Amino acid sequence: MYRMIAEMMRKVREVMMLLLYLLLAMFSRGLATHSKRTSSGESPVDTAGYCLSWRMAVESNNMMGWRTIPTQCLRHVEAYMMGGQYSRDINLIIDQIYTYLDTIPPIGDLDSGDGLDAWILDVDDTCLSNLYYYQAKRFGCDPYDPMEFRTWALRGECSAIPAVLRLFNRLLGAGFKVILLSGRDEEALGQATVDNLVDQGFVGFHRLIMRSPENRGQGAITFKSQIRKELMDQGYRIWGNVGDQWSDLQGDCTGNRTFKIPNPMYFVP
Domain limits of the chain?
Answer: 1-35, 47-260
Per-residue pLDDT, averaged over 182-208, amounts to 98
For residue 121, report the phi and psi dihedrals to the nearest 5 degrees: -120, 135
pLDDT per position as a tens digit, 242-254: 999 999 999 999 9
Total-model pTM: 0.83
Would you tell me which CATH number, out of the four given (3.40.1110.10, 3.40.630.10, 3.40.50.1000, 3.40.50.10540), belongs to the domain 47-260?
A: 3.40.50.1000
| 140 CB burial (10 A radius; 0-12, 13-18, 19+) | buried
Q: For residues 266, 95, 209 and 213, what is the CA-based torsion angle, rounded to 10 degrees?
A: -10
Contact (CB, 8 A) for 116 and 185: no
Residue type, 172: L
Q: Which of 24-28, 108-112, 194-198 has the lowest mean pLDDT?
A: 24-28
Residue 41: the pLDDT is: 52
Mean pLDDT of the chain: 89
